[in-house]
Structure 1
């Protein structure tokens, strides 16, 4: 596509052989992929997309998002072998297409995150690489002519000035496109519109490309879903299907299957620890257990594995659950019907598997039934019940409104993060992704405060002691 200056001489793209590292993923590659790389590459890209989601949910500014995407990509998508960087990019994209094509909600999330990733990766490219990528789209739009530019240049300069951009638009290339092709620019009033056409500056052209990219990817996801349901899922039921179906709810953070070294909670402290350091989902289960002396299977699994992860040993776990269940079911029935599953969670029965505490993603994705108390309160509580629970935790009115705003937008993990920040009075930049992470971070904050108070007390004690040794009178 020829790129023409607005009122000056014509110039062709000087991209030459410059190639952009941003891919359009128009067709699946014919590559042999090891099964471990199939999953590993997808997990690495998923970390990037979830990092973008967290950044957007926290309201990061565009320049902050550029830096975030650059960091996420470098940390997760690089490879020790240079030629594998491109393969990793392409393979991971197409694997996640399989993962996220299967449901409408999954498709929406993937489409939004991949389009955002495309935007900021494009902005990180040099100008020549951007033009090379622009040419790949082969868009049917041409730059405005010199004569047309002269007729609207005052309006273009006004728009440029109102959006905080310095300088005149005289040296900027503009494209004239139907306004519906750049909805984000129209919504934010960053583009001049005349007779149904938007005048898009060269530095805004990424918005135009995003629309095209999003449209292509949206159609591709629908086609992928058809292939998945009609053929791939059944053909790969013993190999790829379990991996694909697990990835959308997989937890990507630290392993909490075992408590950290020396981490342990005792039965005599458990009520106070629950009040101070349990996330809302576990605090609610704990309180219901104390109140009803019983939890259904889903609740027992969610709370039991969490307690295992925070350091409740097997003997104490058996004593804890028996003390509660025996009050309603009796000790004999507990030993017959419930003790086995507790020992099983600790790897002492059955296959002796070391079961992992549930992540936020897994808890959010569950659907509690009537009489169940497990699941994510931010997703499953009514607004009235959630407000009451937050108030009970000591969350102030203003913070409650911020949490409710995130809940309405279905940012449940961010709602939990805001709760943590309100309760503990500290910032949690990484966000809450696991109930055991909430507990661990809470204990760190409380321990830090305890140590600070202790140091201050020692300083005060030292000062008092020094003062007591001073003579009552000083003679000259």
Structure 2
């Protein structure tokens, strides 16, 4: 799409921008570094919300509402004339972010295609035909006389998919059947001599195929440019932002205690059992069992405890008491006390460190003897099933969790665990261990 055309602003129903950008080429715009990152993060919230909805198996009508809500909540701009620019810039920034590996490309391609599908369906017929023309598709509307000759066949298809439209009022296009694979697979189209009769309201399938094909090729080309020139040229400015964005945590940082205030040492065993996510419960049990944790485990659990409201003095007392069977008081003060104070911003740069997000925990690589990381990713299937059983997850829910794990939807697996343990839905999904704790406490206190 030419960027000039994309500057035309119109805000129809649902606040979605018409005419839909096709992202043919990057816009010749100057972008502030802060906008470069913020626009990308806003769009990433939309794509991750779509990913979560699809992973949960939401119905198409529910997905439509979800995508609409996500778009309206995240892709606005204080300046209405910049709405389309934000849309285009954010797409190309994330294209740069997600071009770098096959796994990243696959995820981005699927999510952007799902977003494009939703937005195309919202366009009016005139805009949809304009977009078809942009792709130079060699298809013309089927003449009325020909429609009349196959009217009965088209009507049979319409009845089978519960159409209420009158065939005579519908524009149809004839296309090679292999260009609309999803319509063929779902038996939603009439095929004659290798050609599918695609109704105007089904054209989305045809356009989405074109969009996906173009974006797939573009991601490969972008990866070549990234590895050959951009990464080195921008190693001090853009590269750190680009490389961090795909694992960015987009929610609250939980550096301060939640609304339930402080957690005292006398309560810690009770809340660990009732409200700790599996990753933190495992670390808590291990420190009680082994009276020691390596650095990665101490950081992951220590910052989590800080985030749920354990004060510095209590944190110092907790770690000192747990380590005491193996570590003398003198050695503890010498080797461990500094790092605890450091996490609370009382040493070194006086930085108030934030608890680890799910993304950071999942991407960690625990070694031999380590107990940090994400159990859904790093545990064996047998160990994970046993751990879920100890949390009180029933066998049916365990199988659902394991299915998500096998498909590498680790945060969704944690969300299903939360729902099974608490008997309550978590539509937003679990994105942070401290969110798990906070949501758990809300449910328990409401009861």
TM band (smaller chain)? over 0.9
Q: Is the 8 A contact 2:287 2:322 kept in 1?
A: yes
Alignment correspondent of 1:30: 28
Match of 1:128 in 2: 126
Residue 339 of structure 2 aligns with which residue? 341
Mapped partners of 1:382, 1:445: distance in 2: 30
Partners in 1 of 2:220 and 2:302 — Cα distance? 40
Work out which of the residue numbers 53, 60, 63 in structure 1 matches 2:61. Answer: 63
Deviation track 1:335-381 (CA, whole Å, cap 9, x = no partner) reads 22222111111111111111111111111122222222111111222
- Secondary structure, aligned partner of 1:170: helix
Distance 2:195 2:124 in 1: 28
Q: Within 5 Å, give how 1:148-159 maps onto structure 2.
A: 148-159=146-157
How far apart are the structure 2 equivalents of 1:439 and 1:145? 62
Cα offset, 1:139, TM superposition? 0.8
Aligned positions of 1:342-421 closer than 5 A: 342-421=340-419
The answer to whether the Cα contact below 8 Å between 1:66 and 1:124 also exists between their aligned partners in 2 is no
Q: SS at the partner of 1:216? A: helix
Q: 2:258, 2:438 within 8 Å by CA — same for their partners in 1?
A: no
Once the two structures are TM-superposed, the CA of residue 47 in structure 1 deviates from its matched residue by 0.9
**CA 1:155–1:187 in structure 2 vs 1: closer, same or farther (change >3 Å)?**
same
Which residue does the alignment assign to 1:462? none
CA contact (8 A) 1:20 1:132 kept: no
Tell me how far apart the structure 1 counterparts of residues 69 and 248 of structure 2 sit (CA, whole Å): 22
User: Does the 8 Å contact 1:378/1:416 carry over to 2?
Assistant: yes
Distance 2:423 2:117 in 1: 35
Instruction: Name whichever of 223-232 and 132-141 sits farther off.
Output: 132-141
Tell me, which stretches of 5 or more residues in structure 2 are unaligned? 1-8, 11-16
Structure 1 segment 36-435 matched on structure 2, within 5 A: 36-146=34-144, 148-260=146-258, 263-435=261-433
Partner in structure 2 of residue 13 of structure 1 = none
Q: CA deviation at 1:150?
A: 4.4
Could you tell which deviates more after superposition, 263-272 or 170-179?
170-179
- Quick check: 240-249 or 157-166, which moved more? 157-166
CA distance in 1, matches of 2:335, 2:185: 60
> Structure 1 residues 179, 377: CA separation in 2 closer, same or farther (over 3 Å shift)?
farther
Structure 1 CA distance for aligned equivalents of residues 184 and 345 of structure 2: 58
Cα gap change, 1:381/1:198 in structure 2, threshold over 3 Å: closer, same or farther?
A: farther
**Structure 2 match to 1:9:** none
Give, in whole Å, the separation in 1 of the partners of 2:40 and 2:317.
42
Kept in 1: contact 2:292–2:323 (CA 8 A): yes
* Residue deviations 1:213-232 (CA, integer Å, cap 9, x gap): 01111111111111111111
CA distance in 1, matches of 2:328, 2:158: 75
CA distance in 1, matches of 2:176, 2:328: 73
The whole-number CA distance in structure 1 between the counterparts of 2:72 and 2:402 is 34
| Cross-structure match for 1:457 | none
1:44-77 alpha-carbon deviations (Å, 9 max, x no partner):
1111111111221222222222222222111111
Q: Secondary structure at the match of 1:268?
A: helix
In structure 2, the partner of 1:452 is none
> How far apart, in 1, do the equivalents of 2:432 and 2:335 lie?
29
Offset of residue 262 of structure 1: 5.8
Aligned residues: 433
Work out which of the two has the higher radius of gyration on C-alpha atoms and give 1 or 2.
1
CA gap of 1:351–1:203, structure 2 versus 1, over 3 A, is: same
Structure 1 residue 144: deviation in Å? 3.4
What CA distance in whole angstroms lies between the structure 2 residues aligned with 1:142 and 1:385? 59
Root-mean-square deviation (CA, aligned residues, Å) is: 1.8
TM-score (norm 2): 0.92
Taking the aligned partners of 1:349 and 1:300, their CA distance within structure 2 comes to 17
CA distance in 2, matches of 1:188, 1:23: 28
Secondary structure of the structure 2 residue equivalent to 1:198: strand
Query: Partners of 1:148 and 1:386 in 2: how far apart?
Result: 61
> Mean Cα displacement is larger for which, 322-331 or 376-385?
322-331
